[in-house]
Structure 1
Amino acid sequence: MNIDTRRRTFLASSIATGAGLTLLPSGTLAAGNDKLNIALIGAYGRGRQHHHDLKTQNVVALCDVHGECMAMAAKEFPSAAQYTDWRKCLERKDLDAVVICTPDHHHAFISIWAMNRGLHVYCEKPLGDCVAEARAVREVYLKNKHKLATQHGTQRHALPNFDRVAEMIKGGAIGELKDVHTWGNRTHDKTAYLPATGAPPANIDWEQWIGPTQFHAYNPDYFDLKPGRGCLKWNMYDDFGSWQIGDMGSHTMDLAWNAIDADRPTKIKAFGDAVNPDVCPSELTAIFTMPANDWRDEIRLAWYQGGPRPKSPNSAIDLEKIGHGAMFKGSKGVLIADFNNRILVPLGKETGMDYYTPPKEPRAPIGGFMHQWFNACKGDLKTDCDFDYAGRMIETLMLGLAAHRAGKELTYDAKAGVVTNEPAANAFLSKTYRKGWELNG
């Protein structure tokens, strides 16, 4: 039925003794009696991972540019209408919500178009491919938050360790927070867009795959129909993605973002591979100066990808063995975490923790991440990773890429969304789209 939208934790035991911790069991929030009418835009990759959850609702439309992917999804949702152009899909009048699992360069467009049509939105990460896109999605959401539920596809956020880390940081387990380091270990060796190989096969709508971004000729190596690997074929190319700072960086930074109550940075500097207009850097270090809030002072927040890591606080802990992790440094200790586990390293000669009292009632698991969004669509509209929270985080990460391209430390006015000390760097905050494509459509 069509619902009236107006009423509605990380160290393996091999690297540190006692590092592994037991996770709380996850569960699913109770679903409402009504089912949402949903369009799944991007039926394979992450879209395929959502099939199980989506079967609890009504998937009335599928949209994908690849015939093979569409055929696989149609077997799961045989009654759903099929589209290759998401703009036509969004014209349907029976939709309540959309789930967006397309290549990254479509994310902001579809999210904004859907919200402008009164639809709830679940969008895979990253929410935008540049600073301007992240800001635009957040702005449209804030205008509609009284009637729409949104969720950014950082599904690891539902793991109990995210809340345990936040409780420890905010509760003073490491004393006063000084700085935070996050990292990922993936690399790439691409140097230019792939060469043309002739016309695409009849079952691939290449024009729609390119969509709003600058045109590049078809090459089959942009595709990989192995589950979970497709994005690693194209998201290092600048017109299609942001590489790891926007990919796994969305997940790992979320572990930190959830704990530090951050807004946007005031200063950004970055260094790594030489700037290449075709591809995002494989190796990158981005350092953000985050303003103080009501419980902590100004801190430094860093992201590392492609090799670099922060220095370990203890020789017994090898950070190289943590593929995607975060380290919080405080006045009394250091907390190191990945998505599932955490370890606290006291500083100085004192090893006791008499100064820290764990919460008497830790937050209960949120249950299924997508089901939290389903329930929000039908109820209070509240999710953990709405487009306000996610928009600020992705805006920050994309500023890291902008600073790398500028080659200088940038001073940023978050309210205005402009670089104030190097005006030329503002060109790196946005992208140019093909004629006929409007971001705020």
Structure 2
Amino acid sequence: MYHGAAARRISAAESPNEKLNLACIGVGGRGAANVGGVRSQNLIALVDVDEKRAEGAFKKYSSAERFSDYRKMLDKLGKDLDGVVISTPDHTHFHPAYASMQLGLHTYLEKPLAHNVWETRTLTDYARENKLATQLGNQRHAMPNMHRVVELVQSGAIGKVNEVHCWVGGSRGMPSIPKDTPPVPAGLDYELWVGPAEKRPYHPSFCPYGWRFWWEYGTGETGNWGCHILDIPFWSLGLRYPSHVNARGPEVDAERTPKSMHVTYRFDQTNQNSPLDLHWYHGTPEILAQRGLSGKGHNTLFIGEDGMLLSGFDKHELLPEEKFADFKRPEQFVPKSPGFHKEWIAACKGGDAATCNFDYTGPMAETVLLGNVAYRTGGFDWNAKTLSTGNNTKAQSLIQTAYRKGWEID
């Protein structure tokens, strides 16, 4: 046990009418929105290593006890909690989540779930084995348009789907390497911010936000957007784990994430009983121009035997338009979400599993992270059961990485 505490079954929320006792770890930036999402419950503790970024949440929820170190918070209050909401940088997802889950706490965790595949699988398996309510921060999963797209694909509107293309635009990545070493700002516990990762001198270009584009701390635009966007084909086609992953892009930098990439995943099986090629792009895919399509407002193109479906988070089109002019849409069968955070709260109280529980999102998050691995090391066959990259030993070295001294996991 990471904290030396015995795992326990929590009971504070046995009644749906009881409020949960929650701690929020990481309450600035995206974390502030997640705190707001669970504000209907008892906010017992707020944890953040950066007093300045957390200032708004600290003031707004002043009755919650404040901490800078989640470990001290769990040691003091863990026995009184029902769950945790974690919204920290990618490299510090696993440690607070695993420690909390070992104490029997239900867990809401920001995407992409963890920083590497081993961490992701470990959290996914632990949650299932210990019957913990989980939710990955894929809040767009609750959008009605996403539901309609799933219904169209699963009802066979475009026939059997043999390829899907997903993308995020822009060219964020490859930040400038800092040349100066400014002092750590007052109110920031930089040692805790670095946590289990390799320590480098503080610089505002990666702390508090630019970390996303450094491999040591983040997972690039693929990790930033992959879980949101690949959610559309994963849900629609019942995807689990790819059997092969390949990627290409600009020259690999050992420290920084790229400005573009193209990953191809091979899935041997879908809910349509057929193989699938799933393409992920950081950048605009060439297939849009080849098909005479505009990607504006969209991020996913399903190509089926009987047509195409072009989708974004809040709109979609069946193509070619003339073929579907008189198309009768299927009856709606995906239920409306009561609210993304409310799903998790209800699950914590004994209700149905939240829609983005780790059993669903774990394989998706692993797939996203495998794309980064393939870009950095070359393609490989993937054995999801053994977490093996076959003959690609460089890829294998990125599936599980070492932690800084003092942050090792027993």
C-alpha displacement of 1:357:
6.0
Where does structure 1 differ by over 6 angstroms across 4 or more consecutive aligned residues?
Answer: none
Q: Distance in 1 between matches of 2:84 and 2:398?
A: 30
Q: Is 1:318 aligned with 2:294?
A: yes
What residue is the counterpart of 2:185 in the other structure? 201
Q: Distance in 1 between matches of 2:167 and 2:407?
A: 34
Q: Distance in 2 between matches of 1:426 and 1:384?
A: 31
1:41-80 → structure 2 map (5 Å cutoff)? 41-80=25-64
What residue is the counterpart of 1:402 in the other structure? 373
Q: Is the 8 A contact 2:167 2:282 kept in 1?
A: yes
352 and 35 in structure 1: CA distance in 2 versus 1, 3 angstrom threshold: closer
Q: Is 1:100 aligned with 2:86?
A: yes
Tell me the SS of whatever aligns to 1:90: helix
Equivalent position to 1:387, from 358, 361, 369? 358
Alignment TM-score, normalising by the size of structure 2 = 0.92
1:291-440 → structure 2 map (5 Å cutoff)? 291-312=268-289, 314-315=291-292, 317-319=293-295, 321-322=296-297, 325-346=299-320, 351=323, 358-407=329-378, 409-439=379-409
**AA matched with 1:351:** K
1:117-132 → structure 2 map (5 Å cutoff)? 117-132=103-118
Unaligned runs of 5+ in 1: 9-30, 225-229
- Identify the range of structure 1 (383-392 vs 105-114) with the bigger mean alpha-carbon deviation: 105-114
**AA matched with 1:414:** A
Q: Is the 8 A contact 2:241 2:364 kept in 1?
A: yes
Tell me the SS of whatever aligns to 1:109: helix
C-alpha displacement of 1:223:
3.9
- The superposition leaves residues 218-263 of structure 1 with CA deviations (integer Å, 9 ceiling, x where unpaired) of 1123346xxxxx4xx2201001110111111211111221111011
85 and 193 in structure 1: CA distance in 2 versus 1, 3 angstrom threshold: farther
Q: Distance in 1 between matches of 2:314 and 2:284?
A: 22
**AA matched with 1:340:** D
Q: Distance in 1 between matches of 2:34 and 2:339?
A: 11
Instruction: Quote the RMSD (CA, aligned, Å).
Output: 2.2
What residue is the counterpart of 1:160 in the other structure? 144
- The superposition leaves residues 314-371 of structure 1 with CA deviations (integer Å, 9 ceiling, x where unpaired) of 53x312x23x510100000000000001000049xx82588x7643343231121001
What residue is the counterpart of 2:5 in the other structure? none
Q: Is the 8 A contact 1:182 1:304 kept in 2?
A: yes
Q: Is the 8 A contact 1:179 1:329 kept in 2?
A: yes
Q: Is the 8 A contact 2:173 2:213 kept in 1?
A: no
Q: Distance in 2 between matches of 1:371 and 1:123?
A: 14
Q: Distance in 2 between matches of 1:165 and 1:313?
A: 23
**AA matched with 2:389:** V
Q: Distance in 1 between matches of 2:179 and 2:123?
A: 33
C-alpha displacement of 1:406:
1.3
**AA matched with 1:282:** K
What residue is the counterpart of 2:3 in the other structure? none
65 and 195 in structure 1: CA distance in 2 versus 1, 3 angstrom threshold: farther
Q: Distance in 1 between matches of 2:375 and 2:313?
A: 27
Unaligned runs of 5+ in 2: 1-8
C-alpha displacement of 1:6:
8.5
Equivalent position to 2:167, from 170, 178, 183? 183
What residue is the counterpart of 1:268 in the other structure? 245
341 and 246 in structure 1: CA distance in 2 versus 1, 3 angstrom threshold: same
Q: Is 1:245 aligned with 2:222?
A: yes
C-alpha displacement of 1:107:
1.0
What residue is the counterpart of 2:4 in the other structure? none
Q: Distance in 1 between matches of 2:37 and 2:372?
A: 34
Q: Distance in 2 between matches of 1:109 and 1:193?
A: 27
Q: Is the 8 A contact 1:41 1:98 kept in 2?
A: yes
C-alpha displacement of 1:153:
0.1
Q: Is the 8 A contact 2:173 2:258 kept in 1?
A: no
**AA matched with 1:136:** T
**AA matched with 1:206:** Y
- Identify the range of structure 1 (356-365 vs 422-431) with the bigger mean alpha-carbon deviation: 356-365
Q: Distance in 2 between matches of 1:158 and 1:346?
A: 27
**AA matched with 1:215:** K
Q: Is the 8 A contact 1:5 1:119 kept in 2?
A: no
What residue is the counterpart of 2:24 in the other structure? 40
Q: Distance in 2 between matches of 1:258 and 1:82?
A: 38
Q: Distance in 2 between matches of 1:416 and 1:395?
A: 13
112 and 176 in structure 1: CA distance in 2 versus 1, 3 angstrom threshold: same
Q: Is the 8 A contact 2:288 2:294 kept in 1?
A: no
Tell me the SS of whatever aligns to 2:93: helix
Q: Distance in 1 between matches of 2:273 and 2:286?
A: 24
Q: Distance in 2 between matches of 1:309 and 1:209?
A: 39
Tell me the SS of whatever aligns to 1:419: coil
